Structure 1
Amino acid sequence: MLGGCIGVDESGKGDYFGPLVAAGVYVSEDNVDKLDSLGVRDSKRLSSSRIRSLSPLIRESFTYDVVTVYPKRYNELYSEIRNLNRMLAWAHSRVIENLLSLVDCRLVIADQFGDSYFIEGALMSEGKKIRLIQRPRAEDYPAVAAASILARDVFLQGLNRLTDKYGVVFPRGSSAKAVEAARVY
């Protein structure tokens, strides 16, 4: 990893309930080993309780940014953008630009969710100067795995807020149970 990198990932894109979350984590060459010692890996391979315990450790040790799109704003953005991949690109690019204002980094690795031009086209002035690598299963990179944990933690917190507000445990994903719960609530 030459000079460090920013890893970016999202959570909530395939879920009926909860927010859409994009997160990014800057990892320098000097502190990449810390992620390994913490046990950081793709959030899909971790329990919710492990995600909750790792998230504050990542936040304390690394520069990060999170963009959360709650359902009301999601619906507003979707009516303007009309494409989930473009919304994800918008959120990813905000995270990247926010982190670039905090750290000097020219390499960003993102989990690929569509054509590469989605994120590239959404980047602003600072983002146009970076090398952006997009690939499926980018969570194999430690910085992207850390970002996936932060994104998942914020997503789970959003679901918990819904549970507290309505007194119902909303199902994750977009299963028939989730669709039925949406009809009821």
Structure 2
Amino acid sequence: MQVLVGGIDEAGRGPVIGPMVMAIAITNDMDKLRAMGVRDSKELSSVGRARLFSIIKSMLIYVDYEVIEPRIIDDYVYMNALNILEAEVATKLINRALGRVLLKVVYIDSPDPRPERFRDIIKKNVGSNVEVVAMNNADKLIPVVSAASIVAKVVRDSIIEKLHKEYGDFGSGYPSDPRTIAFLRDWVRRYGNLPPIVRRSWSTVRKLLSNGLDRYL
């Protein structure tokens, strides 16, 4: 009997613009993923990610993802509960997978420095037949989590590409990107508000709007 192993990771937790994407990948052959050169998506070029994405999609037993929009992220950030959001989405992905495949163990890249705390939130709400293993840096250590990170990143990149076409060039969407900051400043200057693609809870936005425009938040 094949032992199916899952991995979960996110892309886009840090940007001030755009959604976060969480993905689950399930395989019966982690050695094959490792031999293919699957590794953390942040260590791959966009071309490398796209190439591996097209290959791993066809060889994985199961793939799924969830897109979390900025307004949902904001709700949880205001409650200081972003890790809770990730745990809830991971739970949803696991339970959906369990409805389709006999998943035995799932590895999750933990955003919490105490992975067991993150694991326990998830474990309470998934079936007892699946083992949940939360780890820091799992995206670098566990090939199936690396595969999930590639799926999440490629899906998010495609969403960002569409948002660029709709809203204009906002750069990477990260607070450290001068193009992103320039985009936010210009948008507020022109419209006195923010587009729905922006995470209003981010300190970057609060600072930009500290000249009195924060009443629009």
**TM-score normalised by length of structure 2:** 0.73
Aligned to 2:184: 182
Question: Which structure 1 segments of 5+ residues have no match?
Answer: none
The number of residues matched between the two structures is 181
User: Which secondary structure state, in structure 2, belongs to the residue aligned with residue 106 of structure 1?
Assistant: strand
For the pair 1:92 / 2:90, whether they are aligned, the reply is yes
2:118 and 2:134 in contact (8 A); partners too: no
Alignment of 1:119-134 (within 5 A): 119-122=119-122, 125-134=125-134
Higher Rg of the two aligned structures = 2
Aligned to 1:55: 53
Give the C-alpha shift of residue 123 in structure 1: 5.0
**TM-score normalised by length of structure 1:** 0.85
Mapped to 2, the partners of 1:91 and 1:184 lie a distance apart of 34
Aligned to 1:66: 65
Q: Which moved more, 1:147-156 or 1:36-45?
A: 36-45
Alignment of 1:1-185 (within 5 A): 3-28=3-28, 31-62=29-60, 63-76=62-75, 78=77, 82-114=80-112, 115=114, 116-122=116-122, 125-139=125-139, 140-175=141-176, 177=178, 178-185=180-187
Question: Which structure 2 segments of 5+ residues have no match?
Answer: 188-217
How large is the Cα RMSD of the aligned pairs?
2.3
1:16 and 1:173 in contact (8 A); partners too: yes
Question: In the TM superposition, what whole-angstrom CA distance separates every residue of 1:111-135 from its partner, at most 9, and x where no partner exists?
Answer: 1111433353245654444221111
Q: Partner letter of residue 184 of structure 2?
A: A
Mapped to 2, the partners of 1:123 and 1:181 lie a distance apart of 41
Give the C-alpha shift of residue 82 in structure 1: 4.4
> Do the aligned partners of residues 55 and 124 (structure 1) sit closer, same or farther apart at CA in structure 2, a change above 3 Å counting?
farther
The one of the two structures with greater contact order (alpha-carbon pairs below 8 A, sep at least 6) is: 1
Mapped to 1, the partners of 2:143 and 2:177 lie a distance apart of 34
Give the C-alpha shift of residue 15 in structure 1: 1.1
